[in-house]
Chain A
């Protein structure tokens, strides 16, 4: 396989201060993303999974610069995204887009869809108003919506339709890369499938790459070329999709996969139930951060942090016991 990284995330850290007390001093820090590294190739879909609160959205938001990183680098076209300012940052946003789970977060409620999308085109791409309006119709059709909907406001759609509007808006600038943050989670199965099919078609036609964030492993398995498994701000395992689902190595990944409800065509594995809560990201356990819930934890796990190493070609894992 040729290796052609589009986005190269190196040692990314995103910390949020916790303010406390009367004077609202910084009382601690939430290490939402703690030394994360992985790459996304051109025309590749990388799935990002992990339990709620493990830092998935924060990684996605850092790539499109909606969160300021505390440390590390994200390389794109040989530039560090994290150090871009002004015009360069604006240009970057053409190429890197994000679709959120809650479509309201990217749609101004006071504008009609026509205006919302046309404005992106006139301001960022220099289209004339009439060109932009024509293009809005095409974009709506591409996501399976009737162009007459262009006159509506965001609240006048059903949830699934609104999500498609958000995708149409993300596509308007013909990006090279889209972060899909739980973009299909709230949709019914048939629309979910339609949108996944749409994303797959766009990938084939326009060579778009995706970071596909989801807590739903069956969706991740279907859509991803490679998968990154995160736990409490860190990457636990990274591999090609098929390899990961057939031979999960990390105890955390194995527990996640064992919890997928009835996938036919595969024996139901014995369910591994993780004990205890996910620890707070403000108080990450020492050693292997998974040790408080790991059924195999030993003394070494409690003190020494396991390094990421290659266990099979392209298959990386951070665990002392694999």
Chain B
């Protein structure tokens, strides 16, 4: 890929929180990039740092946070240097965010009409009222909202959960942003509507060359949308590579286990579902050596003591001692 194709570039991102318990190191040296028109999926279990990573990019974290990075650029511009006000302008216009919890981004006191209209006007100043209405109806229909005319007139609490999620997606996409960050965008949706939303994201990508950073635990959604996959564990990216390679030939034991825990591999009814043994470690006390070693079925002595280096094997990168002999060390 040529350098100018990179829309978002993140190098060595660290996000720490000062809390009464101590310093919580939620994101620890994460690097990735998203090209124009590309979808990168960020996957990993709950608490591994996915949402904090995206909130750091959007400057949406509270005062107790410390964000550092070697590089943090959107479209060649340094995000770190932006003032709060400049960052606010970029959100919505250049980057749009679909949040994990819909009510965080919908304003409870305004009708949908107004919230959607506002986004359309940001992108098309001077647009007429009838045009705003026409486009609002159009985009709601595209995200699978039945009777869009009726829905425009209601407040968020009058919508069902699934409708709320679709309305939020419509608002995020209304301004044709260059980059969409979608945090678990389709989880509240029926399969059929989920497919509709995925199609819409693809259409947007095709028509406007939109880049998507997709955060999800659903490998089904990943496989329909992503070009590349980055797997995150305990504040770090442990494997990254093209979708097909990662799914067909996961190099990291964690990636392999994640793929194995996809439901559909049925257990006896009422029995216990398969999970990856143990829990994501508390960011206050990460284990020594490889952070995955307490849960890793292949851990050896060295894994307990030394952190594995990042290794490139073909188009994939991985941080695991098992692969140390197979590829090239990255420096």
Contact = CB atoms under 8 A, between A and B. Distances in A.
Interface string A198-219: 0010000000000000010011
Nearest to A204: B270
B51 A159 contact: yes
B19 A264 contact: no
B160 interface: yes
A103 B101 contact: yes
Interface stretch (B73-81, B273-281, B320-328): B273-281
Interface in B196-234: 217, 220
B147 A159 contact: no
A242 B21 CA distance: 47
A67 to B, nearest CB: 11
Contact of B188 (A16, A18, A186): A186
A262 interface: yes
B269 interface: yes
A313 interface: no
Contacts of B273: 192-193, 196-197, 222
29 contacts: A52-B161, A52-B188, A52-B189, A53-B146, A53-B163, A101-B161, A104-B101, A104-B103, A144-B279, A149-B21, A151-B19, A156-B19, A158-B47, A158-B51, A160-B45, A161-B47, A186-B188, A187-B46, A187-B217, A188-B44, A188-B45, A189-B258, A190-B275, A193-B261, A193-B272, A197-B275, A215-B189, A221-B269, A222-B270
A265 B270 contact: no
Contacts of B21: 148-149, 151
A43 interface: no
A160 B48 CA distance: 10
Nearest to B265: A264
When A and B form their complex, which 8 residue pairs have the shortest distance between CB atoms, in order from nearest? A160-B46, A188-B217, A52-B162, A193-B273, A191-B46, A277-B146, A158-B47, A53-B160
Contacts of B45: 160, 188, 190-191
A285 to B, nearest CB: 14
Give chain B's interface residue range (CB within 8 Å of chain A): 35 or more
Contact of B270 (A104, A189, A200): A200
Contact of A161 (B46, B153, B264, B274): B46
B192 A280 contact: no
Contacts of A190: 45-46, 258, 261, 275-276
A165 B160 CA distance: 23
A263 interface: yes
Interface of A: 16, 18, 20, 51-53, 57, 101-105, 144, 146, 148-149, 151-152, 155-156, 158-161, 181-182, 185-194, 196-197, 200, 215, 218-219, 221-222, 241-242, 259-265, 274, 277-280, 282
Contacts of B104: 104
B188 A264 contact: no
B143 to A, nearest CB: 12
Query: Max chain A CB contacts within 10 Å: which of B45, B46, B190, B191?
Result: B46
A57 B220 CA distance: 26
A278 to B, nearest CB: 6
Contact of B101 (A102, A193, A241, A282): A102
Interface in B30-86: 44-47, 50-52, 62
A105 to B, nearest CB: 6
Nearest to B263: A218
A52 B103 contact: no
A20 B149 CA distance: 12
B162 A265 contact: no
A189 B217 contact: yes
A104 B45 CA distance: 20
Nearest to B194: A215
Nearest to B17: A156
Given A151-B21, A152-B19, A190-B258, 8 more contacts: A52-B193, A144-B279, A146-B282, A151-B20, A158-B46, A192-B263, A196-B273, A222-B273
A262 B47 contact: no
Given A190-B276, A280-B147, A261 B46 contact: no
Interface string B244-288: 000000000000001001111111011011111001001010000
A168 B244 CA distance: 40
A82 B104 CA distance: 31
B264 A278 contact: no
B137 to A, nearest CB: 14
B330 interface: no
B233 to A, nearest CB: 12
Given A104-B101, A187-B46, A188-B46, A193 B274 contact: yes
A159 B184 contact: yes
A263 B266 contact: yes
B187 interface: yes
A189 B262 contact: yes
B46 A280 contact: no
Interface in B87-106: 100-104
